[in-house]
Amino acid sequence: MPTYDLTCDACAIEFEVFRQGFLRDEDRSCPECGATATQRITGFVTSRKARVAAVGTPASGGGHAHGCGCGHNH
C-alpha cells in the first residue's frame, strides 16, 4: 500500500497517509489544524528476489570465494 508524505502548509507538521491508489483531496487535510498540506517528494522501496550468480562468473565479479557479488576479489 502506498505511503504519502505530507507537510502542513500552515503549521508545518509532517504526517503520512496510507492510501490504496492515488492521494485524494481529503487526504491533504492536516490532522492537527485542518489546513491544506503539500505532498513531499520522497523515495520508495521495492522488493524483489536477489539474484545470486555462480562463483567465478562475470556477474559475480569473478573469483569470489564467498559469492557476494560486490565486485571485489576477496
The reply to whether 58 falls in a domain is: no
The conformation of residue 65, written as its DSSP 8-state character, comes to: S
pTM: 0.54
Give the pLDDT score at 49: 74
The reply to whether 24 falls in a domain is: yes
Number of structural domains, the chain?
1
Q: Which residues pair with 61 in a beta bridge?
A: none
Give the pLDDT score at 54: 59
SS3 39: strand
Helix (H) or strand (E) holding 38: strand 37-39
Q: Which residues pair with 4 in a beta bridge?
A: 17
The reply to whether 64 falls in a domain is: no
The reply to whether 7 falls in a domain is: yes
Q: What is the pLDDT of residues 12-68, one digit of tens each?
A: 999 999 988 888 989 999 999 999 999 998 776 677 776 666 565 555 444 445 556
Residue 27's domain comprises 3-39
The reply to whether 52 falls in a domain is: no
